Structure 1
Amino acid sequence: MSKVRFLEVTSEEVGQRLDNFLLKHLRKVPKMLVYRIIRKGEVRVNKGRAQPSQRLVLGDLVRVPPVAMAESGEVVTPPKTQQDKIEGLILYEDDDLLVINKPSGMAVHGGSGVSWGLVELVRNLREDARRVELVHRLDRDTSGAIILAKKMSALRSLHEQIRQDQVEKRYVTLLAGQWPKAKQKVDLPLLKNTLRSGERMVEVSPDGKPCLSYFFLQQQFKDAALMEVKLVTGRTHQIRVHARAQGCPVIGDEKYGFDEVNKLFKEWGMARLALHAKRLVFKQPSTQQTIEIEAPLFGDFTRIIKRLEQEGD
């Protein structure tokens, strides 16, 4: 059992999320325990309670309570097969960052019942990426392009680009039903709630945060629409809730979707959320050159599109 510690945020740690900061300093502590002590309010930032997603600033004082350390044999190493799989899904890499085509079903990091995720895979995969951090997030069931920074300077640069709306994010999704042809701009505020069970739910609400998405119809099938979506803001479940608000939820969405539609597409081979982060455009942190990334669709997605096209013939 460790003792109470007070950790001061250094210049190299500015901009880190609280959970990532703790996971770095508590490497021998089970990840589920790290998230539990944050949730219970045992971790304090400048004497106040904090959320896992809180960004730290220079000089913040983080109180870390006594926690049980894992034995060395309990440290989880992601399976070698998964490391090999991720190696083949790297879309771009340089000294500052990596961009990976994340599969659906893979968490971005360990915690909340998941022993390892994409971050842990990359840290085990690359000697120069032992301190790699997420630049942004994708839901576990969403596939596609995600950026990971190898250096804190790169992380800060990319976060600043996101804050300045200088990172372009586009998604491909399959929606249930007939998309209203004249509808492109969806400007609806979203409010995030946490149920008693701990599940996160998001709803359209005037009390929510401003959210703006643009939906572009690519192909309209009999009972489904292939869409490209451009995000202006990046809220939790934004595409999923904005789509549902138009009566066309994302296919495979067990939280906001239609059960019968999901069941049908599962039988057809789409047994996951039909949402894919297709395109990223940003400035390389060191050179400021424009980087454009296209993440290919996975096989289940392309096969469903082909079947929908055949059904319309």
Structure 2
Amino acid sequence: MTYKMTSVSIIYINEDMINQRIDNFLQKKFKNVPKSMIYRIIRIGKIRINKKRIKPQYKLKIGDRIRIPPIKVIDKKEKKFFISEHQKIILHNVLYEDKDLLIINKPSGIAVHGGSGIKLGIIEYFRKCRPLEKTLELVHRLDRDTSGVLVLAKNRTSLISLHKQIREKKIQKKYIALVHGSWPIHLKKISEPILKTYSKNKQKKMLIHQDGKASETYFEIKKKYSCTTLMSIKPKTGRTHQIRIHTLYAGYPILFDKIYGKNSLDKNIKNKIKINRLLLHASSINFTHPKNGKKIYITAPLDIDFKNYLINLI
């Protein structure tokens, strides 16, 4: 077995990383490094956050700057990266690009990043296919089964600027969803707190709970069908699975939602038309460009499966 020393690295904490303990964060990042070594370099002060020593239980905050010293890791020879037809679809789904931003129309069924049994996600595909892009980071996330607009930043300045816009609720996102039942005309807003929970097998699941985080979603009916409703949805907050949780809470779950949906309702529809994707799509995003200050408005068309499903509805 051979080893190699990593180089000094600097990590800036974004919204996807916050609230993790520093020891847990480092264990996930350096899976081939013994826990004892992780704790040792924290204890002796080699890990610095914002130029200060920290303890293993320190929880990461937005904007934290972590300095990681050289670490001895197992040297695994990287396998050659081959782009499959599925991955080619991702690479050809670019909606907008300049020297600061890369915005794509993410297909349903593909995670935004690797982890939890997933080797490669959107961000890994682009990093491998564009090695000259030294800094390429996710600005926000989409659920694996949700399609639509996904923004990537090409530099740290743009990432920080867009995260600031997210915190200040200056980025507006719209979604399209097909829900079961006839959505009530009067139901235009749901404000119910969402709490993150974990099952015995450590699977994450969100639920409505008074101890959860404040969450607000706005709803508008686009079209009513015989037993479903096409909705335009604007989340004011950005909690995990927020739209899926709020539609379920209202009693009108999104079609083919394997976690928060109603399997009994889905089965009746699946017998008519063969489709097996969550019918939730991030249709547009509106924000201020991090460098030139111009207003950016990006729309993402529905994929062929979602379109065909709507065409066949009555």
TM range (shorter): 0.7 to 0.9
| 1:297 lines up with 2:302 in the alignment | yes
3-state SS of 1:260 partner? helix
- Tell me the TM-score normalized by structure 2: 0.82
Q: Which residue matches 1:247?
A: 251
3-state SS of 2:174 partner? strand
Flag the 1:204–1:87 CA change in 2: closer, same or farther, 3 A.
Answer: same
RMSD: 3.4
- Structure 1 stretches of at least 4 aligned residues deviating more than 3 Å after TM superposition: 1-10, 13-19, 29-34, 40-45, 53-56, 60-69, 264-267
Q: For 1:154-165, what aligned pairs fall within 5 Å after superposition?
A: 154-165=158-169
1:194 to 193, 198, 204: 198
Flag the 1:192–1:205 CA change in 2: closer, same or farther, 3 A.
Answer: same
| 1:283 lines up with 2:310 in the alignment | no
| 1:264 lines up with 2:271 in the alignment | no
Q: For 1:33-112, what aligned pairs fall within 5 Å after superposition?
A: 33=31, 46-49=54-57, 55-58=62-65, 60=66, 67-69=73-75, 71-74=76-79, 77=81, 79-112=83-116
Which AA in structure 2 matches 1:139?
Answer: D
Flag the 1:106–1:64 CA change in 2: closer, same or farther, 3 A.
Answer: farther
Q: Distance in 2 between matches of 1:133 and 1:154?
A: 10
3-state SS of 2:223 partner? strand
| 1:229 lines up with 2:233 in the alignment | yes
3-state SS of 2:173 partner? strand
Flag the 1:170–1:42 CA change in 2: closer, same or farther, 3 A.
Answer: farther
Deviation at 1:67, TM superposition (A): 4.8
- Tell me the TM-score normalized by structure 1: 0.82
Q: Distance in 2 between matches of 1:262 and 1:232?
A: 28
**Which protein has the bigger helix share?**
1
Q: Distance in 2 between matches of 1:43 and 1:199?
A: 30
Q: Which residue matches 2:181?
A: 177
Structure with greater Cα Rg? 2
Q: Where does the alignment leave 5 or more consecutive residues of structure 2 unmatched?
A: 43-48
Contact 2:218 2:234 in 1 (8 A): yes
Flag the 1:47–1:96 CA change in 2: closer, same or farther, 3 A.
Answer: same
Q: Which residue matches 1:116?
A: 120
Deviation at 1:88, TM superposition (A): 1.7
**Number of equivalences:** 294
Residues 81-133 of structure 1, C-alpha deviations (whole Å, 9 max, x = no match): 34421232000000001110000000101111111110011112324424210
Contact 2:254 2:278 in 1 (8 A): yes
